[in-house]
């Protein structure tokens, strides 16, 4: 009897447990269904948002529209360098994972619409170039980088007198960290380099040239002070002026550290110890001595060693405060030279142009009156070519992604042959329009280069004629 009772109880327990298990499974299934429904709803909401963005997308090929287009949803992780690298031997196949990502977004669209224009917009929306905006912006804003020729007026440069001496010019460029400050939208350092480049070209016909950098080593921290204050470098050794070598040397100077003005003058004295002739130092600086030296004493000692008739220290204070200006004036005075203030790019260029150049008659045949030569024109043209080559490479990669998208739709089989053909035609039209715009911008910029060269040539020719008349008057 007892056994029968326990047997009945056991079966009842099994039924209860089975009921609980079924109820648990039902609850789990219900929860999963709710999660799946929520995921589907979220995906549908996302798809609606993307469809709205796709419909609003402009695929017109103009400067304005391309500058507004940032990157496709599936291309925004591609770097500019990767996208614009020249295609020399064909493209590698797209990564299988990337193709799967394309399938995930493109296949559902083919189920929802067969409108060729919308599907073309989808290709651009998801796989359009990530680089057109930057390339087009650079091409559209391109300006030739030729330096304006220094053409000084006769009334602003005094005629030299006395016996001819060999001329040695040391250009000392302050590369302390303060030269990284902004001046009218440009770095002080960039402005100073342009001025020094033009000045060296101007005096290079009548003087041997040296370029000395100070403040360009170490950094502005206390730990970097030692190196910054001790490293004075003659980056262009004293000798005949060679524009290409000089500009290469100038380009290596980077603003970094402190201002060892005194040490720079002392080192220049060492650099020039074996020279006999007229030694002139031209310093471009934007601040006071910060390396515990005494630049006034250094300049005074330099003059005493060489003789005041043989040496001078001239300084341009570029956007300096009162303390720095007073010090730089004292240095120039002790160095038998002159101090000039320049508060902006135009003043710096004009001060160098009108105060530091030799006589007008000496300058008549100097390289300052040369128009941009073939190498300079080639360099500017190459800037344009680099941009258009990058554009071509980006187009090639974009077209590869478009072709893969068409292949996905063909294999899916949801679109008719007629629809696919129309999309292919739209892809071809886009490529033609991109090529046309690229060629237009390239040609426009090349014409701008030629126009600028002719403009400079006209200025120089006019100036040369004025100088010829002046020469006749003084004979």
Angle between helical axes of 345-355 and 188-203 (0-180°, round to 10): 20
Q: Under 8 Å CB-to-CB from 259, ≥6 apart: which residues? A: 174, 176, 178, 214, 215, 285, 287, 288, 289, 290, 291
E strand spans, 67-207: 167-174, 182-183, 186-187
Strands 311-318 and 278-285: parallel
Is there a contact between 202 and 366 (Cβ–Cβ < 8 Å)?
Answer: yes
Q: What is the pLDDT of residue 464?
A: 73
pLDDT at 353: 56
Cα–Cα distance between 188 and 317 in angstroms, integer? Answer: 12
Residue 29: predicted pLDDT:
53
DSSP letter at 206? Answer: T
**pLDDT score recorded for residue 162:** 42
Which pLDDT tens digits describe the chain residue by residue (475 residues)? 445 555 555 556 555 555 555 555 555 555 555 554 544 444 444 555 467 778 888 888 999 999 988 888 999 899 999 999 999 888 899 999 999 999 999 999 999 899 999 999 999 999 999 999 999 999 999 999 887 776 655 443 333 444 456 889 999 999 998 888 887 778 888 888 888 887 787 777 778 999 999 999 999 899 999 999 999 999 999 999 898 999 999 999 999 899 999 999 999 999 998 888 889 898 888 888 999 999 999 999 999 988 878 888 988 887 788 888 899 999 999 999 888 776 766 666 666 655 555 455 454 544 444 678 788 899 999 999 999 999 999 999 999 999 999 999 999 999 999 999 999 999 999 999 999 999 999 999 999 999 999 998 888 877 777 666 654 544 4
Name the 3-class secondary structure at 220.
coil
pLDDT on residue 156: 38
Query: Does residue 319 contact residue 342 with C-beta atoms inside 8 Å?
Result: yes
Residue entry with tokens 């060492």: 270
CA distances from 324 to 273, 287, 321, 345 (A): 28, 5, 5, 19
Report pLDDT for 4.
58
SS3 label, residue 453: helix
What is the reported pTM? 0.60
| Interstrand relation of 167-174 and 278-285 (parallel, antiparallel or unpaired) | parallel
Which of 244, 361, 259, 365 lies closest to 318 in space, CA to CA? 259
Is residue 414 a contact partner of residue 111, using CB atoms and an 8 Å limit? yes
Output the pLDDT for position 9: 59
HSE (side-chain half, CA atoms, 13 Å) at 353: 20
Question: How far are the Cα atoms of 195, 206, 377, 381 from residue 374, in angstroms, in the given order?
Answer: 22, 24, 5, 10
In the prediction, which pLDDT does 16 show?
58
Report the alpha-carbon distance of residue 12 to residue 109 in Å, rounded.
56
* Total residues found in the chain within this entry: 475
């Amino acid at each position: 009897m007892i056994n029968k009772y326990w047997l009945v109880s056991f079966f009842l327990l099994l039924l209860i447990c089975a009921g609980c298990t079924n109820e648990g499974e039902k609850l789990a299934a219900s929860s999963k269904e709710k999660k799946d429904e929520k995921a589907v709803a979220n995906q549908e909401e996302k798809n609606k948002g993307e469809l709205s963005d796709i419909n609003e997308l402009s695929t017109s090929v103009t400067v304005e529209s391309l500058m507004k287009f940032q990157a496709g949803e599936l291309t925004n992780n591609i770097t500019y360098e990767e996208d614009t690298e020249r295609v020399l031997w064909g493209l590698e196949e797209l990564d299988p994972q990337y193709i799967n990502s394309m399938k995930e977004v493109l296949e559902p669209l083919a189920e929802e619409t067969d409108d060729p224009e919308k599907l073309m917009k989808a290709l651009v929306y998801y796989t359009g170039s990530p680089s057109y905006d930057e390339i087009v912006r650079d091409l559209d804003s391109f300006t030739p980088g030729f330096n304006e020729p220094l053409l000084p007026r006769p009334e602003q440069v005094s005629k030299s007198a006395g016996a001819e001496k060999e001329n040695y010019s040391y250009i000392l460029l302050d590369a302390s960290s303060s030269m990284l400050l902004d001046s009218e939208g440009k770095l002080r350092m960039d402005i100073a380099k342009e001025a020094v480049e033009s000045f060296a070209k101007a005096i290079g016909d009548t003087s041997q040239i040296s370029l000395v950098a100070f403040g360009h080593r170490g950094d502005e921290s206390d730990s970097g002070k030692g190196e910054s204050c001790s490293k004075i470098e003659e980056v262009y050794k004293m000798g005949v002026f060679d524009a290409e070598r000089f500009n290469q040397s100038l380009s290596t100077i980077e603003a970094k550290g402190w201002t060892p003005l005194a040490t720079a003058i002392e080192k220049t004295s060492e650099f020039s110890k074996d020279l006999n002739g007229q030694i002139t130092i031209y310093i471009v600086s934007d601040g006071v001595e910060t390396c515990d030296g005494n630049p006034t004493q250094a300049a005074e000692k330099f003059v005493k060693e060489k003789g005041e008739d043989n040496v001078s220290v001239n300084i341009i204070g570029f956007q300096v405060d009162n303390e720095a200006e007073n010090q730089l004036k004292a240095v120039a005075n002790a160095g038998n030279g002159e101090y000039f203030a320049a508060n902006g790019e135009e003043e710096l260029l004009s001060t160098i142009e009108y105060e530091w150049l030799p006589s007008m008659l000496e300058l008549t045949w100097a390289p300052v009156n040369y128009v941009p030569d073939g190498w300079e024109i080639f360099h500017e043209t190459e800037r344009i070519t680099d941009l258009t080559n990058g554009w071509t490479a980006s187009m090639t990669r974009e077209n590869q992604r478009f072709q893969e998208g068409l292949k996905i739709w063909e294999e899916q089989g949801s679109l008719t042959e007629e629809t696919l053909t129309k999309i292919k035609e739209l892809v071809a039209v886009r490529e033609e329009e991109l090529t046309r715009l690229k060629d237009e911008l390239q040609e426009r910029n090349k014409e701008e280069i030629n126009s600028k060269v002719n403009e400079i040539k006209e200025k120089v020719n006019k100036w040369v004629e004025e100088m010829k008349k002046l020469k006749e008057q003084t004979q």
